[in-house]
Structure 1
Amino acid sequence: MKLYEDLAADGLRIPDLVKSLRKMLAKDQPGFAKQVGISLATLRKIEQDRGNVTMDSVRKILDRYDLDLVVTVRKKS
């Protein structure tokens, strides 16, 4: 699956990961938010990389799909 290939190769930023995961699962935003236990507004903030979402909200998504959060040094562009 492309999502897992991207994760293994370079990793993904949280907004990109969440959006890709949701699309891979063929879920709309309301359905995905309900499935992982966060509000629709929070999911939208995460996917758009806006606002100040909590780590708890991110963990709910990651835990649901057995993913871990890893910190890496940003690549210089």
Structure 2
Amino acid sequence: MITEWEADRPKWEQIADVIKRRIQDGTYPPRTRVPSVQQIVEETGVAVDTAQKVMTRLRQEGVIYTVRGLGSFVAEKE
């Protein structure tokens, strides 16, 4: 996901940007699953709290939605 961190930006912000880019370029089309908190932790080495902040921010921005028990998915564009 990320091979080198930018020192001047929070890690959660960098991860969120990667996921948003993948949504924009079609890697994650609408209504498809995005990586889970655990997958983000495993792929990036960040703490669980950091990965949760990524997901919370993406939900707040309306980029993804979460279905309890199923995961998080790309929201439809309006």
Would you call these one fold, judging by a TM-score over 0.5?
Answer: no
Structure with larger RCO (C-alpha < 8 A, sep 6+): 2
| TM-score, length of structure 2 as denominator length | 0.30
